[in-house]
Structure 1
């Protein structure tokens, strides 16, 4: 005898059950979305209450301001997204970073003749703080990086270049390759580099070292010092200590 398959009624019942499970799953998913949205609104409300309570600390203490920024980011709130609204009115954080951005531009323009538009984040911080005066808010490296991020709207200038544990800020159009950033990293300790040192320390071919150094000179990022009886030295003004810079 041939085995009979499931009847039409059984198939309909199975399809109906699957549809109900699907509908039930959709309802549960919608409920979860509603609950999550409600929780996010509660978090944002608590964040606004926290910001109101600690307004003074957020404005004056760079470390506290960093922690506040990280707390905002954890729930998808960007206090810098607009210069209007609650955050600007209550904290002035939008205005703070836009003002800081203008000061960064001014410092970079004032020093570009010396460093070719490449400055260390530490020197930038010192110069910006000096231009702001004594009675203004302290600023941190994180504050500078956030303000520089806002300067992206100016085009392809103002690039942050990681250099080990620190950063270099490039304020003129142009792209540094991996060889160029490696060269800068290698020169950090002494402020200068020679072609023979690159060949010896990095195992580069002479032509590779020459191209990298020539590019830095052409872009105004390095100065040449011909030492009598020694190798030509390539000095990087962006690596000079800020206190001795002119």
Structure 2
């Protein structure tokens, strides 16, 4: 009898656990349905907002950035969203497509001078300086979003964030390693130039490691070599950086 009572208790416990699981699944399903409804309502509200404020979104870069942030928070990409009033009211996909073409043109025009690296703020300034009089102002956020789209297409474009806070735009194919990024950041703080000994001193690198990073940047056209420095040491110049330093000075 004790054995039978024990088996019965186990079965009762299993039944209770099964009911808990069933109830938990029902609650999860209900929560998911509620969340889906809320997201659908938010998307509908955003569509109404886009239809009402479409002109301001297209013409005001700050307002456009805030709208993009709202969309991102609920997983909506208005650049890729081509249904209904999104495409009619905003035309953001077309806006970023044309901006991407202009970014490529500006970067290609400057590539011989910069070696394929252009400070983001300089790119934004050139885009605004060459835009038509009736086109809206281009913001840093606009350019960053467009470059991310270009990168998805495998164009070689990418953003390089330096430790000092500056952002560079790379417009030539090739991976930007941490070592090469560190060298660029160091050159930025030294008027657009650096040396192998300075890299070793600042980062605690061996000469081989510093030489490898510097040589790769030279081979990729991002750096120029100066062997006529009075110190006798080879100096590596980064034209995109010293041009920016000169223009800000």
**TM, length-normalised to structure 1:** 0.86
Contact 2:120 2:167 in 1 (8 A): yes
Could you tell me how far apart the structure 2 residues matched to 1:202 and 1:25 are?
Answer: 54
Contact 2:162 2:185 in 1 (8 A): yes
8 Å CA contact 1:161, 1:167 repeated in 2: yes
**Contact 1:193-1:233 at 8 Å conserved across structures:** yes
State the distance in 2 between where 1:8 and 1:210 align: 75
Partner of 2:184: 184
Q: 1:226 to 1:24 in 2, by over 3 A?
A: closer
Deviation string, structure 1 residues 108-131 (Cα, Å, up to 9, x no partner): 111111112111111111122222
Change (3 A) 1:6 1:55: same
The one-character-per-residue Cα deviations of 1:64-111 (angstroms, maximum 9, x if unpaired) are 211111111111111012445432211111111111111111111111
2:172 is aligned to: 172
Aligned 8 A contact 2:192 2:245 in 1: no
1:125 partnered with 2:127: no
Q: Distance in 2 between matches of 1:153 and 1:92?
A: 20
- The 3-state SS of whatever aligns with 1:175 is coil
Shift of 1:158: 0.7
- In 1, Cα distance between equivalents of 2:4 and 2:25: 31
2:244 corresponds, among 237, 241, 244, to 241
Q: Could you say which residue in structure 1 is the equivalent of 2:58? A: 59
Match of 2:195? 194
Contact 1:118–1:238 (Cα < 8 Å) also in 2 = yes
Task: Name the SS for the 2:176 alignment partner.
Answer: coil
Root-mean-square deviation (Å): 2.5
Q: How does 1:1-246 map to 2 (within 5 A)?
A: 3-6=2-5, 16-83=15-82, 85-155=84-154, 157-164=156-163, 165-189=165-189, 190-227=191-228, 229-230=230-231, 231-239=233-241, 240-241=243-244
**Contact 1:158–1:172 (CA under 8 A) maintained in structure 2:** yes
Is the 1:126–1:242 Cα contact (8 Å) retained in structure 2? no
214-223 vs 233-242, which moves further: 233-242
CA distance in 1, matches of 2:208, 2:22: 69
Going from structure 1 to structure 2, the CA distance change for 1:219 and 1:23 (only over 3 Å counts) comes to: closer
Q: How many residues align?
A: 243
- Residue pair 1:123, 1:242 contacting (<8 A) in 2 also: no
| Consecutive unaligned residues in structure 2, runs of 5 or more | none
- Pair 126,98 (structure 1): closer, same or farther in 2 beyond 3 Å: same
Question: Normalized against structure 2, the TM-score is what?
Answer: 0.85
